[in-house]
Amino acid sequence: MFVRMDHPSPAHPKTRVLFVCLGNICRSPLAEGVFRHLAEEAGLAHQFDIDSAGTGSWHVGEPPDARASLVASKHGITLESRGRQVTREDFQRFDYVIAMDRDNLRVLERMKAETGSDAVVALLRSFDPEADGDDVPDPYYGGSSGFEQVFQIIRKACRGLLEQLPKQTA
């Protein structure tokens, strides 16, 4: 469930959003890149601090999967992040921690409870009113066409997320 927070505030002038999947080389870097691109198109990029991470550590320091970078590039988006693992500090740093699927959501909810954070933890697809499921499927073990499908799912949900997040009025 999405809960609107009162960010941005004078103490934190930007709304801080973290996208999280399992390894941080496919879905979450795509979501980070897509959301940044949509915010730029809307003239709102300066209002957000956007990042991505994974619940696992397998790909720390690696660039996004080549197939994710290729599909993003086809849509005019460059993926610049490097794989990293989500940390307890992320729950203090970010206002919104957005999971790609229910398995990662459960991990994030446990971490949030351990930190006492007031960050909103939610599924990305919860921001798409027309979603036909909760999870963004993991395209890692599939072919290139799976990455295009995942890109479309992510773009639609990121549009909904951007519409629902608080904006600066000044």
pLDDT in tens, 109-149: 999 999 999 999 999 999 999 999 999 999 999 888 899 99
- Asked if residue 12 is part of any domain, the answer here is no
- Asked if residue 72 is part of any domain, the answer here is yes
Burial group, residue 89, by CB count within 10 angstroms (0-12, 13-18, 19+): exposed
For position 166, what pLDDT does the model report?
79
This model's pTM is above 0.85: yes
For position 64, what pLDDT does the model report?
97
Question: 6 pLDDT exceeds 60?
Answer: no
Question: 93 pLDDT exceeds 60?
Answer: yes
- Asked if residue 146 is part of any domain, the answer here is yes
Within 57-139, strands assigned E span 96-99, 120-123
Question: 167 pLDDT exceeds 90?
Answer: no
- Asked if residue 5 is part of any domain, the answer here is no
- Asked if residue 53 is part of any domain, the answer here is yes
* Tokens at 51, concatenated: 């990042």
Question: 169 pLDDT exceeds 70?
Answer: no
- Asked if residue 4 is part of any domain, the answer here is no
What is d(CA 129, CA 19) in angstroms, rounded to the nearest whole number? 19
Question: 170 pLDDT exceeds 60?
Answer: no
What is d(CA 57, CA 50) in angstroms, rounded to the nearest whole number? 20
Closest CA to 157 of 22, 35, 1, 65: 35
For position 10, what pLDDT does the model report?
53
Give the end-to-end CA distance of the chain in Å, rounded to a whole number. Answer: 28
For position 168, what pLDDT does the model report?
61
- Asked if residue 105 is part of any domain, the answer here is yes
Give the Cβ contact number of residue 142 at 10 Å. Answer: 13
Report, as residue numbers or ranges, the catalytic residues.
21, 27, 138
Q: How confident is the model at residue 4 (pLDDT cuts 50, 70, 90)?
A: very low
Higher-confidence residue: 17 or 5?
Answer: 17
Closest CA to 31 of 163, 161, 158, 164: 158
Structural domain of 113: 24-163
Q: How many domains does the chain have?
A: 1
